[in-house]
Amino acid sequence: MNIASKKNTWTLLWLLLPGLLVYTLIAVVPIIQAAYLSLFDWNGSSSMYFLGLDNYREIFSSYSDYWNAFKNTMLYVVFCCIGQVGLGFLFAVLFINRKFRFGALFRSALYLPCILAPVVIGFLGLMIYNPRFGLLNTLLSLVGLEHLGRDWLGDPNVVIYALIAIHIWQFIGYYTTIFLAAAQGISPEILEVAEIDGAVGLAKTWYVIIPLLRNTIFVCLTICIAGTMKVFDQIFVMTKGGPGVASEVLALYMYNNTFNRFRYGFGSAISIVILLTSFVMIVIPRWLIERRVRSVE
């Protein structure tokens, strides 16, 4: 390595140092602190009592509410990956393949919920699902399906799916925009050659567009999983985890134990479990898929 190259390397490191320090303070240090607190029984004011791994044993015990929160979170992850990323990709493909008269207006309307705060979306959800004058029950009555109307947020059998639908609606436009931006990098000549070879419609999407946007799909799935694993705001505004614990997710389960029951050690243990679960769901499948792709190539 010559002198100029060494100088450029040190310059780059010095430029990265402030950002690295900030990231360490706001991300790495809290994780280390949470991992430390997870080994103790502490209510935030009294002395800390060392428990070792007892908090983790309680989390995974059969009588723990953790498994209900875990199930609800997994439902969020699965349906949001399908709804947000899947529908976002579908809309992007439609915009790529066809010209719509009001396409720009539709894209703007699709993206609008993304710029609203989750709390605002939560209040909109309350108005949509209100059992007496909510938009959803009103529309069902107008089309003669009033028998399908119900207290969407008060029914433990459907509340989690009602919340998931609102979350999907908020972020479809976000993923549509990402896929549209990525699709602009596809050479028009490639699509033209594919059409000449007979790859049109669904075939062009399956054999040409999806392979070319493979990395973008991985990125979108990663963002979706990471964001869904920590979903909190909308649920807190709309149901606070109710009725009962029917809509409680991991982030809300951690919040309730930490700030409502003053179990800071147990809450810290839950946060570490959420972190590790997110890591497993994001990193390991991606590594396995990329390894499989490299072996095929």
Say what the pLDDT of residue 172 is: 92
* Amino acid identity at 221: L
Axis crossing angle, helix 264-296 with helix 29-37, rounded to the nearest 10: 120
CATH superfamily, region 75-247: MetI-like (1.10.3720.10)
Question: So what's the pLDDT on residue 205?
Answer: 75
Show the low-confidence residues of the chain (pLDDT under 50). Answer: none
Neighbours of 234 (CB within 10 A): 23
Mean pLDDT of the chain: 86
Q: What is the pLDDT of residues 48-106, one digit of tens each?
A: 899 889 999 999 886 778 999 999 999 999 999 999 999 999 888 887 766 667 667 77
* Backbone dihedral angles phi then psi of residue 98, each to the nearest 5 degrees: -135, 150
Distance between CA 126 and CA 161 in Å, rounded?
14
> What pTM did the predictor assign?
0.86
Strands (E) across 73-225 are located at none
Q: Which pLDDT belongs to residue 133?
A: 86
Which residue from 132, 113, 137 is spatially nearest to 123, judged by alpha carbons? 113
Secondary structure class of 213 (helix, strand, coil): coil
Burial 142-164 (b: 16+ CB within 10 A, else e): eeeeeeebbbbbeeeebbbebbb
Identify the pLDDT of residue 35: 93
